[in-house]
A and B are shown apart, each in its own frame.
Chain A
Amino acid sequence: MIAVLGLAVGIVAGLFLEPTVPTWLQAYLPIAVVAALDAVFGGLRALLDGIFDDKVFVVSFVANVLVAALIVYLGDQLGVGSQLSTGVVVVLGIRIFSNAAAIRRHLFDA
């Protein structure tokens, strides 16, 4: 419950504060957001599976974000940043879809 509240509070804060993204973060923020989305969907699925654990969720969330940013950073250094970003987004997208499928089966039994 409180997690949903947190999400809403974050969105509202982002909309109303209108902060500017620092330059060094601009390449990584989109990927980090997708990775965090993946973690949230994974957490939701774990909750429905009855195996949700706060600590695992926090660790996986932070780790996902950091790894995604690291991959993008590495790609930028290697000169394949945009391609690697695309790859990361595709992989995370697949995971999000599969998690969403699992969540759907739990909620709608279909």
Chain B
Amino acid sequence: MTDPTDGAAPRAPEGRGVGRRRLLTALRSRPTGGQLVAAALCALLGFAVAVQVRANQDVALTGLRQSDLVRILDDVTERSARLQAEARDLEDTRSRVTGGSSGTRAALEDARARSETLAILAGTVPARGPGIEFTIGDPDGKVGSDVLLDALQELRDAGGEAFEIATVGGPAVRVAASTYLADDDGGISVDGTHLRSPYRFRVIGDSRTLAAALDIPGGVLDVLRQRDAQGSVTQLARLEITSLRPVPAPQYARPAPEDNGG
């Protein structure tokens, strides 16, 4: 009997150990045909249990029914969509940060170009371009800082963009807005650096205009001739100014925030 609907009901008293004796009897009994069939069924059950356990361990998905698979697929799809959205967000952020939007990039280029221009003007980076070399030989020491300053102003007016004053074969000083020239003990002092004759200006700009500016009547070359000094101008297609000025760190001034429009 395998119908155990009354299984939990208390058994009628049949004496102690009866069940155990019956079990031993059954275990010792000779197999009949019916018991063989029961044994075969038990073997089938054991086989099925083992197979099922192994299948459960083996594969996660093949044993599932359609609705479960659909649910899992939904989960995976949803998760993938979420991750894709996250990836899109991160890519957006990255392109924003690295200047992906054209406005930001243009502003960055603008700022970089302006910074380069200012660096050349301030003399903090080397400069290169066409220009002139203007050498002044002053063996008698009659050329003072006033002549050199005139020459510098003349060259500035003629569109010179980067300037260097040097002793030929000696120290060189990059000229910036704050540069000063002073007479100094048989030579001149440029920003505190002592220079002696012969002096050499190296100027980047339109070489013909620069040369012409020095050669005007009553101009620098005339003055030099009056003072028994020699001036010679060489136009160069390519000139490099490598002397630099230190970058001063402003102690008090800070950049003021720009207007948004500017």
Contacts and interface: CB of A to CB of B under 8 A. Distances in A.
Given A11-B49, A54-B37, A82 B42 contact: no
A29 B45 CA distance: 10
B54 A15 contact: yes
Contacts of A4: 27, 42
Nearest to A59: B2
Contact of A2 (B4, B23, B36, B46): B36
A46 B1 contact: yes
A54 B23 contact: no
A107 B2 CA distance: 18
A101 B46 CA distance: 22
Contact of A3 (B2, B7, B38, B68): B38
B46 A11 contact: yes
B8 interface: yes
Interface residues of A, number: 66
B237 interface: no
Contacts of A48: 19, 22-23
A78 B26 CA distance: 44
B4 A52 contact: no
B23 A1 contact: no
Nearest to A1: B27
Contacts of A40: 42, 45
Nearest to B17: A109
Contacts of B35: 2-3, 54
- The binding surface of chain A is classed by DSSP as helix
Interface in B1-46: 1-4, 7-8, 11, 16-20, 22-23, 26-29, 31-46
Size bin of chain B's contact surface: 35 or more
A82 B69 CA distance: 12
A64 B2 contact: yes
Interface in A13-54: 13-15, 18-21, 23, 26-27, 29-30, 32-33, 36-43, 45-54
A40 B11 CA distance: 20
Contacts of B8: 98, 101-102
Interface stretch (B59-67, B189-197, B221-229): B59-67
B51 interface: yes
Contact of B48 (A20, A33, A46, A55): A33
Given A7-B42, A21-B55, A98 B7 contact: yes
B49 A33 contact: yes
B84 interface: no
A37 B39 CA distance: 13
A15 B147 CA distance: 108
Contacts of A14: 46-51, 54
A102 B69 CA distance: 40
12 contacts: A6-B43, A10-B43, A13-B47, A14-B48, A48-B19, A50-B18, A54-B38, A55-B34, A95-B4, A99-B7, A103-B19, A105-B19
Given A39-B2, A48-B23, A61-B38, 17 more contacts: A3-B39, A4-B42, A10-B42, A10-B50, A14-B51, A21-B63, A29-B52, A33-B52, A37-B45, A40-B45, A42-B2, A45-B1, A45-B7, A54-B37, A57-B41, A82-B67, A106-B22
Interface of A: 1-15, 18-21, 23, 26-27, 29-30, 32-33, 36-43, 45-58, 60-62, 64, 76, 79, 81-82, 95, 98-99, 101-103, 105-107, 109
